Structure 1
Amino acid sequence: MSGAAHPPSPSAAVGEWAGGQITEHAHCLLQGNPGPMTLDGTNTWVVMAPGSSSALVIDPGEDDEAHQQRVLDHVASRDARITQIVLTHGHGDHSEGAPRLARLTAAPVVSAGRGGDLGHGDVLDAGGVELSVVATPGHTADSLSFALAADHALLTGDTVLGRGTTVVAHPDGELEAYLSSLETISRLTGDGAVSTILPGHGPTVPDAAAMVGFYRRHRRERLDQVRQAVADGARDADEVVASVYADVDRSVWPAARLSVLAQLTYLRRRG
């Protein structure tokens, strides 16, 4: 489960994203698993300083031998080795490849959530450059982002995508937590710490503040639409989806239903 491309957002058009070296310290290897929920595919990020002998990998993607070998070869071509594998969250399109990559490299896998090692404020050494852990739950309970201060960038997993909007994956995901996470990211963009978003799916977002503003407005609008659908007689989540997401491809309705359930739970808690 990942992001659903609902409305347009301030980023590049479909088909323009292929990855590559994006910032001085961040390289993106795009996995060949495009779809309604993964957009162009899963972005596997390699973070390292130029000339470093070690690298950190974020989100190895689905379990695909060719992709994990490509990640390994990319790092080896820079005379480096992978010393740590990090997950933004546990969904399979981000995490299933981690055990294979760990076997190939003997690097540990670290994450948040049940049995996880990471928490808000932790600092990781990503091949000679620091990554700060930013807890951003909401898409899932274990969702993390990583601040790459040297590049004024934030790696967001599925919390903020490069195109469209993400799913609040009820019941693990929670809208109140997600709105709080957007506020956290908004503060980072507001004080200049983050100007660029490096997402888990879709192209890089060069104007992080604009994208987060779009996400916050979109959530408010969707909540208003859900309220109105209920007021108009929608009796359950499926009827709300049919009303609110009528303009969205039906292939993403199951994911939209999860977000609607999260929205209904949020509204119910507020009477």
Structure 2
Amino acid sequence: MTPASGPILQRSSDLTQFILAPNPGPMSLEGTNSYVLRAAGYPGAVVVDPGPLDDAHLRALAAGPVELILITHRHADHTAGAARLHELTAAPVRAADPEHCHGGGEPLQDGVVIHAAGVGITVLAAPGHTSDSLCFLLPDDGPHGSVLTGDTILGRGTTMLDYPDGTLGDYLATLDRLEALGAATVLPAHGPVLPSVESIARDYRLHRQERLGQIRAALDQLGRDATAGEVADVVYADVDPSVRRAAETSVAAQLHYLREEGGQG
């Protein structure tokens, strides 16, 4: 995916397209991918993650009839435009957190199957990045299906754990669940589309295990009571200052896992 000069609908899979939101940054990469889901021949659509409160972006998403708006998790780069998109389309907004539901949309529950715009969508609870994170499985999207992963799996780099709301124990369990989906295409909220969620989930788990090894080594050097900031100084010594807070937050999540969640610290 490359940044667009304006709100342009781009094909991402058989059943999905996306518009790249104009909110690039260290955490959002090129910007938020706002997905538009519909089966061939259906005029209406489902929008996943409206993105920021940007009028041109939201009006582009609202250009065709919108039946439903879904949210992967609470962060503002996914939700800030949701209420406004509801105003533009009258479509209900559904999320795990009732605070981000609008227009009579009911909170989403794990395992619920939604049928809208000719697309079957299975809701998967995916805590770890945040406690309210969801993924949306589209089993009929191409030969292996696809899964919209929000920030649980990114198209490039790795995911921050928003500790204490997100925990590593939950995240590892979510990776297990995603790995079981096999060769489904990964449709991330940031970065490019990826093949095989099974393979990507394995790579993510390996990365976490490597980081845990580095943190254990840092604790051996610094002492078992070292703070997240002290450990981050060792493990993320060369990290860009723009993502230093994210690195320290992820270290805090990993320290909690080692000390409190049975991670054998």
Checking the alignment, whether the CA contact within 8 Å between 1:112 and 1:119 is kept in structure 2 is: yes
Distance 1:195 1:143 in 2: 19
Please state how far the C-alpha of 1:216 moved relative to its aligned partner. 0.6
- Counterpart secondary structure, 1:255: helix
Show CA shifts across 1:247-269 (max 9, x none).
32121110111111111111111
Is 1:88 matched up with 2:72?
yes
Distance 2:110 2:81 in 1: 24
For the aligned residue pairs, the C-alpha RMSD in angstroms reads 1.5
Structure 2 residue identity aligned to 1:131: I
Checking the alignment, whether the CA contact within 8 Å between 2:179 and 2:201 is kept in structure 1 is: yes
TM-score after normalising by structure 2: 0.89
Show CA shifts across 1:203-224 (max 9, x none).
0002322211110100001111
Show CA shifts across 1:215-247 (max 9, x none).
010000111111111110162111111111123
Is 1:138 matched up with 2:131?
no
1:99 to 74, 80, 83: 83
Distance 2:215 2:70 in 1: 36
Q: Which residue of 2 aligns with 1:258?
A: 249
Is 1:187 matched up with 2:183?
no
- Counterpart secondary structure, 1:66: helix
2:164 to 163, 171, 177: 171
Structure 2 residue identity aligned to 1:100: R
Q: Which residue of 2 aligns with 1:247?
A: 238
Q: Which residue of 2 aligns with 1:117?
A: 107
2:190 to 201, 204, 208: 201
Is 1:51 matched up with 2:41?
yes
Is 1:26 matched up with 2:10?
no
Is 1:154 matched up with 2:154?
no
Distance 2:133 2:189 in 1: 11
Structure 2 residue identity aligned to 1:220: Q
Is 1:267 matched up with 2:258?
yes
TM-score after normalising by structure 1: 0.87
Distance 2:134 2:26 in 1: 22
- Counterpart secondary structure, 1:45: strand
Structure 2 residue identity aligned to 1:226: I
Aligned length: 247
Higher RCO (Cα < 8 Å, 6 or more apart): 1
- Counterpart secondary structure, 1:124: strand
Checking the alignment, whether the CA contact within 8 Å between 1:17 and 1:202 is kept in structure 2 is: no
Task: List structure 1 segments (4+ residues) > 6 angstroms apart after TM superposition.
Answer: none
Structure 2 residue identity aligned to 1:95: T
Q: 1:114 to 1:99 in 2, by over 3 A?
A: closer
Distance 1:160 1:247 in 2: 23
Distance 1:16 1:32 in 2: 12
Q: Which residue of 2 aligns with 1:213?
A: 202
Identity of aligned residues (%): 47
* Structure 2 gap segments, 5+ residues each: 100-105
Please state how far the C-alpha of 1:83 moved relative to its aligned partner. 1.0
- Counterpart secondary structure, 1:232: helix
Checking the alignment, whether the CA contact within 8 Å between 1:113 and 1:141 is kept in structure 2 is: no
Q: Which residue of 1 aligns with 2:214?
A: 225
Distance 1:69 1:146 in 2: 24
Structure 1 residue identity aligned to 2:192: P
Bigger CA drift: 158-167 or 226-235? 226-235
Distance 1:62 1:258 in 2: 23
Bigger CA drift: 221-230 or 135-144? 221-230
Checking the alignment, whether the CA contact within 8 Å between 2:46 and 2:67 is kept in structure 1 is: yes
Please state how far the C-alpha of 1:126 moved relative to its aligned partner. 3.0
Distance 1:204 1:17 in 2: 14
Checking the alignment, whether the CA contact within 8 Å between 2:180 and 2:198 is kept in structure 1 is: no
